[in-house]
Amino acid sequence: MAFGAQELRVLRRALALALNPSPVTAQEAEDCLQLAESLDEAMRERARHRAFLVADLARYRAALPGTATGYLALLDEALDAGHRPGADDLAALGALRGNPAAAALLSRCGPTAPTTSTTSTTATVTLPAARTHLHAVPGGRRPDGEPAQKPAQKPAQKPAPRPAPA
């Protein structure tokens, strides 16, 4: 992500305000909000681009080995965009290992050796905190088990008048 001179000036001012809080002008506040909106839009665009690349990658992977060249170029671009290769990508790269570009991408994606029995393959599970006890709320049951108050009943509705014959 690249910033222009104006964006860098606004960012520098926002950081200075974060370190040394002082009153800001309406224009400075507006500039900071516009910068935040621009950053949000850039992040959304990056996510859309990555999603497009991953979908395209799946189509190319499904058509392998005929699309090996296109698949490898697209995988390289997807990795540059932050995509983490899944088992399907690693399997496809393993099958294309004879291709130098595939071998380079395979080494870039990480170790290809299967995990040994000495390494832990179990995932760490985080348990939610224990729930607190429920407290009585007004309108509940009294200690003897009887309702505190009878619920209010809705008034009976009047039937709608019949239309006059025409």
How many CB atoms within 10 Å of residue 34? 13
**Structure token pair of residue 138:** 């007004």
Average pLDDT, rounded, for the chain? 76
> pLDDT tens, 144-162?
666 556 656 766 677 777 7
Determine what percent of the chain is predicted with pLDDT higher than 70: 70
**Can you give the pLDDT at residue 119?**
46
pTM recorded for the entire structure: 0.50
Show me where the domains of the chain are located.
5-109
> pLDDT tens, 106-130?
888 876 444 444 444 455 555 455 5
Q: With left for phi above 0 and alpha for psi between -120 and 50, is residue 82 left, alpha or beta?
A: left
**Can you give the pLDDT at residue 114?**
44
Instruction: Using the structure block, give the residue that is written with the tokens 């983490």.
Output: 84
Gap between the Cα atoms of 137 and 158, Å rounded: 35
65 prior amide bond cis, ω within 30: yes
Q: How far is CA 88 from the centre of its chain?
A: 21
